[in-house]
């Protein structure tokens, strides 16, 4: 099981503190959802946890090894990262985009080994993209494109997945579809950390919720325990009605 933990993590942009004093340990084989208002520092925290930015203080440990000391290829084999930006710069085909997930193993769309090909086929299968293999990515709908990104992440076979707002601009049905992909990934032993803005979906799918506000983690635990009117009020500044662990409605505080 893959372990990712952070100890006393902080990051600044110039004089502005993005987040500080973050301690966390991702539950292996579980889906953890990071939630919090815009500007809480969620995306910055993800880039540090994914090893793309060096934190100002603190360390991130991946299977007991300091993330900043790992080579980028070594890290990528353990951890796949899906940023918010889903736009591709060139209209490459779906299967070529998924093949990019094999980068850390030396594969590229131009040259794939047997193992690369198998991994790409499996990923296309899981994300139900087989019928779209040859399609240019600029002709896809938002839902299809987001599945392409998950497929390229899965093609890398990394046991740890970090995704930043993967549900943005998706309709409810596609949101469910993507959440099921992530759920399936964790059911098969993967560990996932996902930033979500849809609290109801987060509560429905997450094993653990991380509540973040003003650059601090303020609560952590199962949805049943932490999805409370008090947390909704202090983290999101809204007055929420919660019944049986489900978010019923929100209103201005």
Partner 1 sequence: MIRDLPLNAGLFTAGIVAIFLACLLGSTSLSIADVFGGLTATGADEHSVIIWQIRLPRAFAAFITGAALAMSGAALQGLLRNPLAEPGVLGVSAMSVLAATLVLYFGLATASSLILPAAAIFGALLATALLGFAALRTGSVVTLILIGVGISSFSGALMSLLLNFAPNPFSLADMVNWTLGSVANRSLTDLAYSLPFILAGLGLLLASARGLSALTLGEEAAAGLGLNLMHQRILVIVGAGLATGGSIAIAGAIGFVGIITPHVMRPLVGHDPGRILLPSALAGGVLLVAADILIRILPTYAELKLGVVAALIGAPAFVWIAIQKRSGGLP
> Which positions lie near partner 1, rule CB under 8 A?
47, 50, 52, 72-73, 75-77, 79-83, 85, 87-93, 96-97, 100-101, 103-104, 108-111, 136, 138, 152, 156
Q: In the numeric block, which tokens belong to residue 133? A: 């293999």
Taking the complex as a whole, how short is the minimal distance between the CB of residue 83 and partner 1, in angstroms?
A: 4
Closer to partner 1 by CB, 111 or 225: give it.
Answer: 111
Whether 220 contacts 226, CB under 8 Å: yes
User: What are residue 33's phi and psi, to 5 degrees?
Assistant: -110, 130
DSSP state of 132: G
State which residue, 101 or 215, has the beta carbon closest to partner 1: 101
To the nearest whole angstrom, how small is the minimum distance from the Cβ of residue 103 to partner 1? 4
Residue 75 or 213 with smaller CB distance to partner 1? 75
CB of 149 to partner 1, least distance (A): 8
CA atoms within 13 A on the CB side of 153: 27
Q: Based on CB atoms, which residue is closest to partner 1, 15 or 87?
A: 87
Q: Which residues contact 117 (CB under 8 A, 6 or more apart)?
A: none
| DSSP code string of 136-157 | BGGGS-HHHHHHHHHHHHHHTT
Least gap, CB of 102 to partner 1 (angstroms): 9
Q: For partner 1, which is the closer residue by CB, 86 or 177?
A: 86
* C-alpha distances in Å from residue 82, one per residue of 218, 224, 225: 25, 27, 28
Q: How far is the CB of 50 from partner 1 (least distance, A)?
A: 6
DSSP state for residue 101 in the 8-state scheme: G
Burial class of residue 222 in the structure, from the number of CB atoms within 10 Å of its CB (0-12 exposed, 13-18 middle, 19+ buried): middle
Nearer to partner 1, 18 or 82 (CB): 82
Smallest gap from Cβ 79 to partner 1, in A, equals 8
Residues in a beta bridge with 81: 162
Closest CA to 86 of 145, 44, 152, 137: 145
């Amino acid at each position: 099981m893959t372990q990712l933990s952070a100890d006393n993590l902080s990051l600044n942009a110039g004089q502005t503190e993005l987040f500080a004093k973050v301690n966390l340990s991702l539950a292996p084989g579980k889906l953890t959802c990071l939630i919090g208002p815009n500007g809480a520092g969620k995306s910055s925290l993800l880039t540090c946890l994914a090893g793309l930015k060096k934190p100002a203080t603190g360390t991130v440990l991946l299977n007991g090894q300091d993330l900043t000391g790992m080579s980028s290829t070594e890290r990528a084999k353990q951890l796949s990262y899906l940023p918010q930006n889903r736009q591709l710069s060139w209209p490459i085909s779906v299967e070529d985009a998924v093949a990019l997930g094999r980068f850390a193993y030396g594969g590229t769309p131009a040259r794939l080994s047997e193992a690369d090909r198998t991994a790409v086929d499996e990923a296309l299968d899981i994300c139900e993209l087989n019928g779209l293999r040859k399609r240019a990515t600029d002709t896809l709908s938002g839902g299809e494109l987001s599945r392409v990104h998950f497929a390229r992440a899965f093609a890398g076979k990394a046991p740890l997945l970090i995704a930043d707002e993967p549900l943005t601009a998706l309709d409810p049905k596609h949101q469910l579809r993507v959440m099921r992909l992530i759920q399936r990934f964790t059911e098969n032993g993967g560990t996932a950390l996902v930033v979500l803005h849809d609290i109801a979906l987060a509560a429905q799918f997450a094993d653990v919720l991380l509540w973040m506000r003003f650059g601090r983690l303020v609560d952590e635990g199962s949805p049943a325990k932490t999805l409370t009117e008090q947390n909704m009020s202090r983290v999101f500044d809204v007055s929420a009605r919660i019944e049986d662990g489900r978010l019923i409605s929100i209103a201005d505080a």
